[in-house]
Structure 1
Amino acid sequence: MEIVWFKRDLRIRDHAPLADAAAAGPVLALFLHEPEIILAPDFSAAHAGFIRECLDSLHAALQERGGELVEMTGSAPGLLEQIWQQQPFATLRSHQETGNRASYQRDELVAAWCRAHGVTWRQSPQNGVIRSQDARAKRDWIAELDAYSSSEPVKPPRHIIPAKLPAMPTGFVAPLQVAGHDKPGRMKGGRAEAIGLLTAFMRTKISRYPYAISSPITAEHGCSRLSPFLAYGVITMREIVLAMNRRVDSPELAVNEAERERLISALRFFADRLRWRAGYFQNMESMPQMEFDNIHPGMNGLREGEFDPVFFARWRDGETGYPMMDAAMHMLHHTGWINMRMRGMLLSFAVNELWLHWREPALFLAREFVDYEPAIHYNQMQIHAGTAGAGSMLAYNPVKQAQELDPKGIFVRRWLPALRAVPDAYIFTPWTMPPAVQTTCGVVIGTDYPAPLVDHLDAARQARSRVGDAQIAAGMRPQSVRGRDGQKVAGTSQVALF
């Protein structure tokens, strides 16, 4: 018997541990509901709901090939010990996981358990990560990432022989109850949903993608929306790259060179974001402490001790007084997803204009984002906060963002119904409405909608000054201002996407 331990890899296709185990003999396909993960401050009911749907999909896929998914609740070493007591096994297979500290510590305990029991733990690479900083230093990581991404996905086993235990271990109980509530507008998990989104994105959306990602109006339907499925390994980077290459080779593009060039440009734009994702994973693999500590130690003490709980609560609840900011937060509360530009605006406002240390906003957003991935999340938090290194601070102007990305106030009015009657001239700066206009439209600032928490321009200037001074004191060369403008799409005639 071999055990295949599913973690953030809830699929059967492009799953080397499962394919290798099925070729070797009976397989115990195992998923653990671990208290250390589920009860951590970065886990939420939305995550639990999405995972449940993905597990149901995985179970059905295994059953189609004769297998079974065994779910257990408890700590990994203890549950492995229970299985071992019934039927000793020689091999544990899983994918490598680059996650939060809880998952790192769990893996260390599992490795120790395996050594004590003479079990070989075979961990397959995932997400293009090279494990071990020394290994990365000796190899061309980008070249290896591109080679990995372009390789053929592992085919699923045709048949799986399920391992039979004499009795179900006592750890098999109902999954832990997670505090809070699921999100009413959350995306549904599962393999069929992932493949449907990928197919639609490649067929009809990809050419418009570079121009749709910034505005929350166009991004909702113009982005791939694959991030939650990537986060839980329902689909892989290699599968996406394969679909991208097939799209380039589709017959309908062979006779339309202009359209083909436009498509290739958009695909390369999308490919760059997949590379960025992999880069964040590699950074987290090398610096797992970034979940708790400033990436650059010279920034220690910058915000610590100045946390304002009122500011945090108003930001968390979408009551900052800046309509674009609050609308984005309300959409996030409802769906668990917003586009990258709005994410940057939310977290930048928290750590810069409100001068909150990044850790608490990071935990709140981690619980909100259904597609939460620690490697991306903490890299982004620290880049925006200016604690990742020279010139890493990013500042967004919430009024300018609204004027450029939601010029008619469609997004703001959708998620902030209280402002629907506000005239266009004041929709992004309602605090500037004269009293008579407030009375006419029925929106009294301070009563029906909050006044701004801070003067965003003045607060941003102060934040840039303080971050810049700290970077200079730490021996870095800061950039005085960094905004977030639209990314330029570079055209190319090369077909190779990776």
Structure 2
Amino acid sequence: MEIVWFKHDLRIRDHAPLTDAAATGPVLALFLHEPDIILAPDFSASHGAFIRECLDSLNAALQERGAELVEMTGSATEVFEKIWQQQPFATLWSHEETGNWVSYQRDKQVAAWCRQRGVLWRQYPQNGVLRGLTSRTKRDWLAELEAYSSSEPVKAPRNIVPSRLDPMLAEPVTPLQGAGHDKPGRIKGGRAEAIRLLTEFVRTKIIRYPQSISSPLTAEHGCSRLSPFLAQGVITMREIVLAMNRRVGSPDMASNAYRQERLISALRFFADRLSWRAGYFQNMESMPRLEFDNIHPGMTGLREEQFDAARFVQWKNGETGYPMVDAAMKMLHHTGWINMRLRGMVLSFAVNELWLHWREPALFLAREFVDYEPAIHYNQMQIHAGTAGAGSMLAYNPVKQAQELDPKGVFVRRWLPALQAVPDAYIFEPWTMSPAVQADCGVTIGSDYPAPLVDHLKAAREARSRVADAQVAAGIRQRAGSGSAGQKRSGSTQAGLF
């Protein structure tokens, strides 16, 4: 019996462990509902619901080839021991995983169990990650990433001989509920939806992608929306690269040099973001405690003892008094997704203007983002908070961002109906309305809509000063008369890339 352990790789195409196991012998395709992962503080009901749809899609694909997905509840070592006691197996097949601390510890326990039982655990790399390097260089990683992304996706096995478990072991899955509730506007999971989105994006949207990603007015329908499917491994980076390359060589593009040039430029722009994603994975491989510890240890103590719980709640609820921040949070509550610029703005507001230690905002956003990937998430939290080293700390002006990205207040009014009648001149700074204007539009600040929690300009200046002082004290940077390059930025961020 060959056990193929599915984790964040819920597909049959470009799945080398499955293909190789199927060529070796009868396959038990296994997915584990692990309490330690489901009950962890970064897992939510919306994650569980999306995964459920992806598992159903995976099972249908396996059944078409003669197998089926077996789902069991329990810790990995407990389940493997149960199976092994009934039917000793020699090999466990899976992909490597670069996940959170819980999955990292779980994998160490599984490795120890395999050694104890004499089981060979065959783990395959994915996402262009090089595991176990003692002196990683950028050249090593880039070469691996290039080789991975340019290679052909592994074909799915045509037929899979199934291996059966004793019915007493393959008991019904005990439902475990992640935190919170599913989101009514959440994207639906499954391979068919991933392929539909990829096809639509490459055929019609990609040329406009570089101009679409920043504004919430265009990003919702201009981005690929593939990030949740990448997060759960429903589709892979090299499948996307293959689709993009085929589009460049398609007859309609080959016959129009101007359009082909625009397409190639847009594809490179998108490919850069795929590379950033892979880079974050590689970074977390060498820093498995990234979700707990500051990237630069010299920044420890910067915010940890100054956590304002009341401000945190108001930020979570979208009640900061800054319409662009609050509208973004309301959209996130409903859909589980906001575009890259809004992600940078809401998390920067939390760690800078509100001066909250990044850990609790990070956990909250992890539960909210349906496309949550720890490697991207915690790197970005720390870059914005200024704890990642020299040049980090990103501060966004929420009023300026609104003026640039939503000039007529369309997005703000969509998600904050209480501000529907506020005149355009005040829509991003409603607290500046006189009592007469408030009465005229029917919005009383402090009652119908909250007053600002902080003076954002003053709070951002103080945050930059505190971070700069801490970085100087830690020896990360020199005290500047030479300026603070990288300390104040209203441009793009690599969070929420897709």
Shift of 1:198: 0.2
Q: Contact 1:74 / 1:171 at 8 angstroms: preserved in 2?
A: no
Distance in 2, matches of 1:354 and 1:445, equals 20
SS for the counterpart of 2:21 is: helix
Letter of the structure 2 residue corresponding to residue 483 of structure 1: R
Query: Match for residue 407 of structure 1?
Result: 407
Alignment of 1:117-156 (within 5 A): 117-134=117-134, 136-137=136-137, 140-156=140-156
The aligned residue for residue 481 of structure 2 is none
Q: Name the structure 2 match of 1:65.
A: 65
Contact 1:206 1:263 in 2 (8 A): yes
Sequence identity of aligned pairs in percent?
Answer: 79
- Cross-structure match for 2:181: 181
Partner of 2:489: 483
Q: CA deviation at 1:180?
A: 1.9
Task: Kindly tell me the number of residue pairs found equivalent between the two proteins.
Answer: 487
Deviations 1:6-48 (A, max 9, x none): 0000000000000000000100000000001000000000000
**Cα distance in structure 2, aligned partners of 1:224 and 1:18:** 27
CA distance in 2, matches of 1:137, 1:483: 28
1:350-369 Cα shifts (integer Å, max 9, x gaps): 00000000000000000000
**Aligned pairs for 1:75-474 within 5 A:** 75-134=75-134, 136-137=136-137, 140-169=140-169, 172-474=172-474
Shift of 1:486: 5.2
Unpaired runs of at least 5, structure 1:
488-498
Deviation at 1:169, TM superposition (A): 1.3
- Post-superposition CA distance 1:76-117 (Å, at most 9, x none): 000000000110000000000000000000000100000000
1:290 Cα deviation from its structure 2 partner: 1.1
The structural deviation recorded for 1:165 is 2.2
Amino acid aligned to 2:489: G
**Matched residue SS, 1:253:** helix
- Once the two structures are TM-superposed, the CA of residue 136 in structure 1 deviates from its matched residue by 3.0
Instruction: Provide Cα deviations, 1:332-354, integer angstroms capped at 9, x if missing partner.
Output: 00000000100000000000000
Equivalent-residue separation in structure 1 for 2:52 and 2:235 (angstroms): 16
Question: Which amino acid in 1 is paired with 2:362?
Answer: A
State the Cα distance separating 1:147 from its structure 2 match.
1.2
Aligned partners of 1:5 and 1:31 also within 8 Å: yes
SS across alignment from 1:290: coil
In structure 2, how many angstroms separate the alpha carbons of the residues matched to 1:70 and 1:220?
36
- In 1: Cα distance, 2:139 partner to 2:165 partner: 43
**What is the root-mean-square deviation of aligned Cα atoms in Å?**
1.2
Equivalent in the alignment of 1:38: 38
Show the counterpart of 2:496. Answer: none
Deviation, structure 1 residue 176:
1.3
User: How far off its partner does 1:135 sit?
Assistant: 6.2
8 Å CA contact 1:299–1:470 kept in 2: the answer is: yes
User: SS state of the match for residue 314, structure 1?
Assistant: helix
Amino acid corresponding to residue 38 of structure 1 in structure 2:
I
Cα displacement string for residues 245-286 of structure 1 (whole angstroms, at most 9, x for unaligned residues): 001101111221111111100000000000000000000001
Cα distance between partner residues in 2 of 1:30 and 1:342:
37
Gaps of 5+ in 2: 479-483, 494-498
The separation in 2 between residues aligned to 1:464 and 1:445, in whole angstroms, is 29
**TM, length-normalised to structure 2:** 0.96
Q: Is this contact kept in 2: 1:2–1:92, CA < 8 A?
A: yes
Measure how far apart 1:131 and its partner are: 0.3
How far off is 1:484 after superposition? 2.9
The offset of 1:137, in angstroms, is: 4.2
2:405 partner amino acid: L
CA distance in 1, matches of 2:297, 2:52: 39
Q: Which letter maps to 2:349?
A: F
Q: How many angstroms apart in 1 are the aligned matches of 2:165 and 2:254?
A: 55
State the Cα distance separating 1:177 from its structure 2 match: 2.6
Instruction: Note if contact 1:79-1:171 (Cα within 8 Å) is conserved in structure 2.
Output: no
Report deviation, 1:170.
6.6
Question: Equivalents in 2 of 1:81, 1:144: separation in Å?
Answer: 35
Instruction: For 1:161, give the aligned amino acid.
Output: V
Per-residue CA shift, 1:201-252, capped at 9, x if unaligned?
0000000000000001100000000000000000000100000100110111
Larger mean CA deviation between 132-141 and 447-456 belongs to 132-141
